[in-house]
Amino acid sequence: MSEAQEEALRAEARAWLEATFPAWRESVGNPARYNSEQRRAWHRVQAQGGWGAPSWPVEYGGKGFGPVEYAVWAEEKARIGANIPFNVTGFGMAGPTIIAHATELQKKRYLPPLLGGDEIWCQLFSEPGAGSDLANVTTRAQRDGDSWIVTGQKVWSSSAHEADFGILLARYDFDKPKHEGLIYFIVDMRAPGIEVRPLRQISGESEFNEVFMTDVRIPDENRIGEPGDGWRVAMTTLMFERMSIGSATGGYTFPFERLVALARAHGRPGALDRQALAGVYTRYKILDLLNARVLSKLRKGEIPTAEGSILKIALADLISASAALGVRLLGGEGLLLKDGSPTRAFLEAPAFHIGGGTDEVQKNVVAE
């Protein structure tokens, strides 16, 4: 994509967002924090405008955006505050995996309701004994006629309590080398034998869950790829997961302008606060440059490897640093958990150092 095309796309995205988002936001009362129905509603506005899943191919309702075009769209959404996460596993992981590996029949069944905001997805990969080393999964899938009988336990399953479908990694052959005995399914979260137990987070909310599966019958037509392809298909999911976290940069950090406003709220900020503000500002700039570095590789048709991991570490660091400074600037009020407050961002920050590959694992990738 040439620079002129990029600028034309930016202008188009900005014009559409400016014509649509502020009015929508006002119509839902300018909330400090969007509830799940508001998130779904904003998604539907985007889907109706053709912006529901711009990186999907045109034939599945997307705009066929490559990574550079998608980054322009994500930047414009972040600029206006319209990057409101909705069905992140569905759009960031399940959808792209289905597009890459599923049969035409599966694509026809699952992609349109996902795009329309009608069906929510969760990811059933991690287990108590399989996280960073995901190939250790021991959830068992046994063939039984036209279906598979699945038994095992998953954990940290975001949104499983509200999900209609899950993408599931299980083991069908315990004798093969661990990466070769895996199988990948789409599972109906309302199937008999599935029990979802919410986990309480430090913020008091329950956004992720334990999922227990006891003799869950999954039709063979819900398998993605051949038995034994599970690892290969899961790698596609994880690659898209990293990309969706990386491109969400603006969505989770505590905005710098609000930190400055907090610092000024109590008169002229002291030297330590000014230093800390400069530290957060510097991190924002570093993140911009790291983003630009990833994009410039993509523009040249090269695939970023270590750059993506560095970006994720820097993002988690910025999320933590900006939220911690916000809490400090609030003083005693920082102990109160209010919508839109840095305290909430502070309590949510540790998750970014773990989910989508821990800091340590990302550092391994960089080192290698």
157 binds ligand FAD, rule: CB under 6 A = yes
45 binds ligand FAD, rule: CB under 6 A = no
251 binds ligand FAD, rule: CB under 6 A = no
User: Which is closer to ligand FAD, CB of 39 or CB of 299?
Assistant: 39
Q: Tell the smallest beta-carbon distance from residue 156 to ligand FAD (Å).
A: 3
Q: Tell the smallest beta-carbon distance from residue 289 to ligand FAD (Å).
A: 26
Q: Is 273 helix (H, G, I), strand (E, B) or coil?
A: helix
Give the pairing of strands 147-158 and 208-219: antiparallel
User: Which is closer to ligand FAD, CB of 151 or CB of 158?
Assistant: 158
Query: Which stretch in 139-147, 174-182, 332-340, 350-358 sits in contact with ligand FAD by CB under 6 A?
Result: 350-358
Output the six-digit token pair for 313.
């570490």
Instruction: Find the binding residues for ligand FAD in span 182-211 (CB under 6 A).
Output: 208
* Residue from 234, 241, 232, 208 nearest 309 by CA: 241
Sign of CA dihedral 287, 290, 292, 294: negative
Extended beta strands in 176-317, E state: 182-188, 194-199, 208-219
361 binds ligand FAD, rule: CB under 6 A = yes
Binding ligand FAD (rule: CB under 6 A), the pick from 126, 247, 249, 343 is 126
Q: Tell the smallest beta-carbon distance from residue 306 to ligand FAD (Å).
A: 16
Report residue 196: phi and psi, to 5°. Answer: -105, 120
User: Which is closer to ligand FAD, CB of 46 or CB of 89?
Assistant: 89
254 binds ligand FAD, rule: CB under 6 A = no
158 binds ligand FAD, rule: CB under 6 A = yes
252 binds ligand FAD, rule: CB under 6 A = no
Is 368 considered catalytic here?
A: no
Query: Which stretch in 3-11, 156-164, 286-294, 325-333 sits in contact with ligand FAD by CB under 6 A?
Result: 156-164
Query: Which stretch in 61-69, 211-219, 254-262, 353-361 sits in contact with ligand FAD by CB under 6 A?
Result: 353-361
- The contacts of residue 324 (CB under 8 Å, 6+ apart) are 346, 349
Q: What share of the chain is helix, strand, coil (3-state, %, to 5)?
A: 55, 15, 30
Q: Is 63 helix (H, G, I), strand (E, B) or coil?
A: coil
What is the distance between the alpha carbons of residues 80 and 85, in angstroms, rounded to a whole number?
14
Q: Tell the smallest beta-carbon distance from residue 312 to ligand FAD (Å).
A: 12
Residue with the closest Cβ to ligand FAD? 131
Query: Which stretch in 37-45, 103-111, 172-180, 349-357 sits in contact with ligand FAD by CB under 6 A?
Result: 349-357
Among residues 241, 302, 348, 368, the one annotated as catalytic is: 241
The helices-and-strands tally (H runs, E runs) of the chain is 13, 7
What is the distance between the alpha carbons of residues 73 and 78, in angstroms, rounded to a whole number?
9
Binding ligand FAD (rule: CB under 6 A), the pick from 131, 219, 251, 334 is 131
Kindly write down the DSSP assignment for every residue of 80-138, as one continuous string. HT-----SHHIIIIIHHHHHHHS-HHHHHHHHHHHHTT---EEEE--BTTBSSSGGG--
Q: Give, as one character, the DSSP assignment of residue 224.
A: -
User: Which is closer to ligand FAD, CB of 21 or CB of 208?
Assistant: 208
Sketch the per residue contact string, 87 through 106, with ligand FAD: x for CB under 6 A, - otherwise: --x-----------------
Binding ligand FAD (rule: CB under 6 A), the pick from 91, 121, 148, 156 is 156
What is the distance between the alpha carbons of residues 232 and 331, in angstroms, rounded to a whole number?
49
Q: Are 111 and 59 in contact (CB under 8 A)?
A: no
What is the distance between the alpha carbons of residues 209 and 162, in angstroms, rounded to a whole number?
10
Query: Which stretch in 122-130, 186-194, 280-288, 334-342 sits in contact with ligand FAD by CB under 6 A?
Result: 122-130
List interacting residues with ligand FAD (CB under 6 A).
Answer: 89, 122-123, 125-126, 131-132, 156-158, 208, 351, 354-355, 358, 360-361, 364
List the catalytic residues.
Answer: 241
